Homo-oligomer: A and B are copies of this chain.
Amino acid sequence: MTPAGSAGAAAYARAAARFHRIAVLGEASAMLGWDAAAMMPEGGAAARGEQFAVLAGLGHGLLTEPALAEDLEAASAAEPWAAANLALMRHARVRAVALPADLVEAQARANAACETVWREARRAADFARVRPRLETVVRLVREQAAALAGALGLSPYDALMDGYQRGIGAADVAPIFDRYEAFLATALPAAEEHQASRPPPRPIPGPFPVPAQEALCRRLAARVGLDFAHARLDRSAHPFCGGTPADVRITTRYDEADFAKAVLAVLHETGHALYERGLPPDHARQPVGEAAGMAVHESQSLIIEMQACRTDAFLGWLGPQLHAAFGGAADVYGPANLALLWRRVERGFIRVDADELTYPAHVILRFRLEQALIGGDLAVADLPGAWNDGIHALLGIIPADDAQGCLQDIHWYDGGFGYFPSYTLGAMAAAQLMAAARQQTPGLDAALGQGDLAPLRAWLGAHVHAQGSRLGFNDLLRAATGKALDVADFEAHLRARYLPS
């Protein structure tokens, strides 16, 4: 190795050591975030907020110190993982230094203030109440997007998307979403007609005691592949997956009248958890060892919850487990009835309650509206009308008020623009990955019929989890499935599941 190479390696090692510290600060915040949602007494909130702020500030400080710029400039790495890591380190620093400190502060204040008012406005279904706050948030997000765009060489909207999912932009997404809109226009009425031709699902009579639900959820998560020597399952107001790869924390909530909410949420969060657990340990606490982005993460939760666990095969195994946990008549736990219960299509107003088929319509609407807001083509004052027009065009329904419309989601009111596409990109990627896994893995579905996800897990482990952040969204799909995101697999999945054969 030449002296220059040796200096480059030393600079790389210094930068990597710094990112290791940044990652540990992130791990501490992640554990405190889990604690805040699952454990913390309410009186701890203010102190916890300060802890998050200081830990984030320390991490930001490590990322923006001039010494890192020098190391990243001087660093060299030939080995492919190290080269990818170096590129990601540089990318992270570019994002961090692109934003002036006073903008970051102004956004933190504006987002927090807007989110507080949004909670009242949503309760009162009164958009006017939060409109001025949202106008401030949008104005600052446009500044943020412009600053990031210049630094990254991306469009402003893509620069925001890049913060959540690297390797795909609006120019890729827009035609895919347009195609889905056209697909939905015929598939949704057909699915509704098919559904109407079948008997309605028979409800499963409760109540379902929480301890029995919790024990079942734990058994199911373990069966799906979660190792509880490195994981916990607790309760929180909204299910999530937190913690760290070595110690992943999933949560759910329990409704004594309906066990399905807890069970399906745990299957979903277990998908996220398996991804974290499967990240490459050799690259732990380096950018390249992290999950590849929010859309890829969502693909991993949905491939477990939607693709694998709602198949006829898995439901056939699951029914007797549910019956054993809760008792009562056996027939309502049959796979046919579970399928009728858990695969219903319905045109609804609320994204988080939507089924697989209509969910993308909610995301397509938001994707278009947030692009218009960031691009300056839509004024905040015109958002409610544009929302109602958009959801009517997509689903043929009009919300009775803005609580059912543009006030329903926290994202924009907390400054989060560019995130929404991740949900549907994840759903589409899940279908594409599942198709490839099936093709490459004989016996995958037979194993699902035994409640055995090992074949699917092994494939995902190799093709997604162990890849860390080495590849962006479309490159990861290309390596795993032979092609960039292709909505055809998702459409085929939906056709097979919701339309007459």
Contacts and interface: CB of A to CB of B under 8 A. Distances in A.
Contacts of A42: 229
Contacts of A40: 247
B244 A43 contact: no
Nearest to A243: B44
Interface stretch (A46-54, A125-133, A479-487): A46-54
Interface in A24-47: 24-25, 27-28, 31-32, 35, 39-44, 46-47
Contacts of A32: 28, 31
Given A31-B31, A39-B39, A230 B51 contact: no
A246 B51 CA distance: 12
Contacts of A141: none
Contacts of A232: 39, 41
Main secondary structure of the interface of A (DSSP, over half): helix
A244 B28 CA distance: 15
A21 B229 contact: no
Contacts of A228: 41
Interface in A218-243: 227-232
A369 interface: no
Contacts of A50: 24
A116 to B, nearest CB: 20
Copies in the complex: 2
Nearest to A62: B58
B43 A246 contact: yes
Nearest to A23: B54
Contacts of A227: 43
B246 A54 contact: no
A47 B285 CA distance: 10
A214 B50 CA distance: 32
Nearest to A247: B44
Contacts of A24: 50-51, 54-55
A227 B43 CA distance: 9
A35 B34 CA distance: 11
A95 interface: no
Nearest to A42: B229
Given A35-B35, A39-B39, A39-B232, A27 B44 contact: no
A55 B28 CA distance: 9
Contacts of A43: 227, 229-230, 246-247
Nearest to A54: B24
A20 interface: yes
A20 B55 CA distance: 11
B35 A31 contact: yes
Nearest to A46: B246
A39 B55 CA distance: 22
A41 B244 contact: no
Contacts of A55: 24-25, 28
B21 A230 contact: no
Contact of A41 (B27, B35, B231, B245): B231
Given A58-B21, A246-B46, A51 B39 contact: no
Nearest to A230: B43
Contacts of A39: 39, 232
Contacts of A48: 247
A154 to B, nearest CB: 32
A211 B42 CA distance: 23
A326 to B, nearest CB: 23
Interface string A112-138: 000000000000000000000000000
Interface of A: 20-21, 24-25, 27-28, 31-32, 35, 39-44, 46-48, 50-51, 54-55, 57-58, 227-232, 244-247
A-B pairs, 9 with minimum CB distance? A44-B247, A47-B246, A43-B230, A43-B229, A24-B54, A28-B28, A24-B51, A21-B54, A44-B246
Given A28-B51, A28-B55, A43-B229, 5 more contacts: A24-B54, A41-B228, A44-B244, A46-B246, A48-B247
19 contacts: A21-B57, A24-B51, A28-B28, A28-B32, A28-B51, A28-B55, A31-B31, A31-B32, A31-B51, A39-B39, A39-B232, A41-B229, A41-B232, A42-B229, A43-B230, A44-B246, A47-B245, A47-B246, A47-B247
